[in-house]
């Protein structure tokens, strides 16, 4: 902020307030005039110019990636060189072309890096060490009857990661990736899939509130994604780099340190979970992630199977992998 002139500083504060209060364009201009009237030496930048300045100051960068026009997949990572969508939707290959007749991508989606947010937090001296502090406190009662499970650092997973040498700096972080479908306004064309990252280094009473919410990308609709992994590739790739570490300035301690972070969990409803972990969902072939009992379909074309012990040969083709009867005392558990 020291390199900015008074008008730029005032413009950044103004755009921040307007974003937090959901101010309209008209309100933005009206409030700007009031600020200028009280401070004749200050000129508030227009909204677009103020946003551009905020991006420059925070080093926030938007990354765009080609995607299937039908929202099936993104042409990223292993699919980066494909010219057509190869996803299977409702039993048929999509095959939608990636480029139009002029060689331009027919559709794109945007991802945001979480790194500028982390840099800004530590530079301002507001970086957190909650994850480390809670884990240290929890370790004192670990394995005893007095231990309480209240948050992630109290659990066995985090204790195991600490034993392996991870989170050796109190400022290291862990993230949960959450995704779900949403309808933004009352029109079907506004459908999309929101992908959020939540820092476990914030108190559980704060981490899911708006100031701590970070939307890393939105997969536009109107269809649900088929290959969710392809859309998540840039997000997971950044977190893979974060596991190796980034040099970040800590304003509170006035020192450089290697900040590391790991993706430790994902969260979604049943349909979203089945897309992420590639295991059973409401139309799954197996009943759950811990059992290989195969679904039984009462008739041909039935989309949702059920799991009786005795096989009913309604759909013979899909009943081939089922035994005549399952033994309830010897289920095919993992």
Give the pLDDT score at 1: 47
pLDDT digits (tens, 9 = 90+) for 203-248: 989 998 888 889 999 999 888 899 999 999 999 999 999 999 999 9
Q: Mean pLDDT across the chain, nearest whole number?
A: 89
pLDDT digits (tens, 9 = 90+) for 48-67: 999 999 988 888 888 999 99
Mean pLDDT throughout 269-294? 73
Verdict on whether the full-model pTM lies above 0.85: no
- Segments in 40-114 forming alpha helices (H): 47-58
pLDDT above 70 for 322: yes
pLDDT above 60 for 2: no
Query: What are the backbone dihedrals phi and psi of residue 250, each rounded to the nearest 5 degrees, phi first?
Result: -100, 105
Given pLDDT bands bounded at 50, 70 and 90, which one contains residue 300?
A: confident
Give the pLDDT score at 273: 77
Structure tokens at 75: 């042409």
Give the pLDDT score at 188: 59
Structure tokens at 258: 């290697």
Mean pLDDT throughout 165-188? 87
pLDDT digits (tens, 9 = 90+) for 102-135: 999 999 999 999 999 999 899 989 999 999 999 9
Sign of CA dihedral 190, 225, 76, 234: positive
**222 within 8 A of 246, measured Cβ to Cβ:** no
The Cα–Cα gap between 137 and 132 comes to 9
Give the pLDDT score at 271: 73
């Amino acid at each position: 902020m020291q390199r900015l002139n008074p008008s730029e500083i005032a413009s950044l504060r103004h755009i921040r307030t307007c974003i937090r209060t959901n101010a309209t364009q008209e309100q933005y201009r009206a409030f700007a005039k009031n600020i200028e009237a009280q401070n004749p030496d200050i000129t508030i930048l227009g909204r677009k110019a103020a946003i551009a300045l905020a991006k420059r100051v925070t080093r926030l960068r938007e990354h765009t990636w080609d995607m299937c026009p039908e929202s099936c997949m993104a042409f990223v990572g292993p699919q980066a060189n494909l010219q057509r969508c190869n996803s299977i939707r409702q039993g048929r290959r999509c095959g939608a072309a990636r480029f139009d007749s002029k060689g331009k991508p027919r559709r794109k989606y945007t991802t945001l890096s979480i790194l500028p947010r982390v840099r800004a937090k530590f530079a301002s001296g507001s970086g957190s060490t909650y994850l480390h502090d809670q884990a240290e406190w929890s370790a004192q009662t670990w394995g005893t009857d007095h231990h309480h499970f209240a948050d992630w650092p109290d659990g066995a997973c985090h204790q195991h990661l600490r034993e392996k040498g991870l989170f050796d700096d109190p400022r290291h972080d862990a993230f949960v990736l959450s995704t779900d479908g949403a309808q933004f306004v009352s029109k079907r064309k506004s459908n999309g899939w929101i992908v959020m990252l939540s820092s476990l280094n914030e108190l559980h009473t704060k981490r899911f509130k708006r100031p701590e919410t970070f939307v890393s990308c939105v997969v536009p609709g109107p269809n649900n994604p088929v290959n969710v992994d392809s859309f998540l590739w840039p997000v997971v790739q950044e977190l893979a780099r974060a596991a190796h570490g980034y040099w970040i300035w800590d304003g509170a301690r006035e020192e450089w340190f290697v900040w590391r972070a790991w993706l430790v969990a994902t969260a979604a409803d049943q349909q979203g979970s089945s897309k992420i972990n590639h295991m059973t969902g409401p139309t799954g072939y197996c009943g759950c992630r811990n059992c290989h009992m195969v679904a039984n379909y009462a008739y041909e074309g039935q989309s949702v199977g059920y799991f009786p012990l005795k096989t009913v040969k309604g759909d013979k083709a899909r009943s081939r992998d089922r035994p005549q009867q399952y033994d309830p005392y010897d289920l095919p558990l993992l």
